[in-house]
Amino acid sequence: MKATLDRYFHISERGSSIGTELRAGTVSFFAMAYIILLNPLILGTTEDAEGYALGVPQVAAATALVAGVMSILFGAIAKYPFAMAAGLGMNTFVGVSMVATSGLTWQESMGLVVIEGIIIVLLAISGFRTAVFDAIPQSMKAAMGVGIGMFIAMIGLVDGGFVTRVPDAAHTTVPVGLGINGSISTWPALVFVIGLIICSFMVIRNVPGGLFIAIVLTTIIAFIVQAFTGSEDWGMAAPVKPEALGGIPDLSIVGDVNLVGAFTKIGVVSTVLLIFTLLLTNFFDAMGTMTGLGKQGKLVDADGNLPDMKKALVVEGFGAVAGGLGSASSNTVFADSSAGIADGARTGLANLMTGVLFLAAMFLTPLYEIVPIEAASPVLVIVGVMMAAQLTEIRWTKMEIAIPAFLTIVTMPFTYSIANGIGVGFISFALMSTFAGKAKDVHWIMWLLAGLFVIFFGMDPISNAIG
């Protein structure tokens, strides 16, 4: 059995072991588990035009189901440790732009997600998605990796309470601040800092499984602090009672989609624009994330491309189809699975472990809430440090390279969007190359993508003009 797993997943070939993969897959799950709590808050509570809401328990169950199935499939077929779950930017777009603004029902909105997923799959099968990867210059691939690292680190800092948003009512020019009023004044934030120190120690000392150990230790510290202080301001539930563990998940929303309703309700043009926005976001979120994760795990070739990329992109495309059919929104490669890669994951076997834990979470609610976000988020900061190493691959003395690379890197964390960073980077790369007299050296696909992103960023005025 061990020999079969080793051959199939290339475990030894990639310098890993079965134990390392299983442990790192567990780390990925705990770094991603918050999506089971957050996705229902985004999708489950909003009523559509007919007064129907998907429901928090139903979305939670569907989120765990689709994430589990797609993570397992991606691991088994693509054989990379890139776990999948509902994409945060895309679920917000579905809930706000499609349901709340455009007046679509949840069934009609999820039907468009399915259609967008089918298009993504066809583009992957045709080889176009692979061609896009090949057309991106090495400097931009490095910038995408660093930008994703900064984005992941920002998520960790915010989730841990170390960085907080300054309310508009404060009338200050500072959009974010340190803790609360410049002070790490909450117990959860203090636990985050302790966790970050533990994580730093583990990676500096090269402790095997160090990040997993750090999550466990920080979780224990969080429970101790919570018990002694009585603080309830945590990213976790109250202590889990044995009788709360278990129960049959409510999967009633799975398969409840309408593929054609949007076309008749808001018209073909408006529907196509919604699909285009979903398509572009999904396409480049996945592309950027896989590039960054591949470089982090040293799984890419000399040109920064993943071997068997086409297979990985086809499977990832089915995540959108599955997410729509499950009413959990489009599923994509999740940047937070970088935590598992940082802990040693190098093969799809880690994904199988992550997927199994997602499936178990459907039945063991709220067991997955035991680990507070303050215990998992320090790992994300360390991941950001690791991915920043790609900065050395960018020629900062060449301004036509440095400017688009820099804009890519800073836009991702500042706008909380991987796709936004890639779009700004592609447009500026085409412009800067032209200014440098190198327009002919830019691949035609890069010009095409820059043009598409101009349309993407101008979607609101275009929609308003069309009416």
Helices 268-296 and 459-466, packing angle to 10 deg:
170
Q: Are 235 and 188 in contact (CB under 8 A)?
A: yes
Q: What are 241-268's pLDDT values in tens digits?
A: 444 455 688 899 999 999 999 999 888 8
CA distance 194 to 223: 13
Q: What is the pLDDT of residue 245?
A: 54
Q: Check residue 13 and give its pLDDT.
A: 92
pLDDT of residue 281: 75
Task: Count Cβ atoms below 10 Å from residue 275 Cβ, excluding itself.
Answer: 16
pLDDT at 233: 60
In this prediction, residue 240 carries a pLDDT of 44
At 466, the pLDDT band (50, 70, 90 cuts) reads low
- Is 169 a residue whose pLDDT tops 90? no
Task: Tell whether the model's pLDDT for residue 116 goes beyond 70.
Answer: yes
Taking all residues of the chain, what is their mean pLDDT, rounded to a whole number? 85
Position 152 scores a pLDDT of 80
Q: Can you read off the two tokens belonging to residue 464?
A: 């308003």
| pLDDT tens digits, one per residue of 50-102 | 889 998 889 989 999 999 999 999 999 999 999 999 987 678 778 877 887 77
Q: Integer distance in angstroms from the first to the last C-alpha of the chain?
A: 61
Least confident of 130-139, 235-244, 363-372, 450-459: 235-244
Q: Residue 205: is its pLDDT beyond 50?
A: yes
Residue partners of 282: CB distance under 8 A and separation at least 6? 87, 90, 116, 117, 120, 320, 330, 332
What's the pTM? 0.75
Q: What percent of the chain has pLDDT over 70?
A: 91
Q: Read off the pLDDT of each residue in 161-190 and give the average, rounded to a whole number.
A: 76
In degrees, rounded to 5, the angle at the alpha carbon of residue 78 between the alpha carbons of residues 292 and 302 is 45
The pLDDT of 107-122, averaged and rounded, is 95
Q: What is the pLDDT of residue 274?
A: 84
Distance CA 348, CA 74 (A): 7
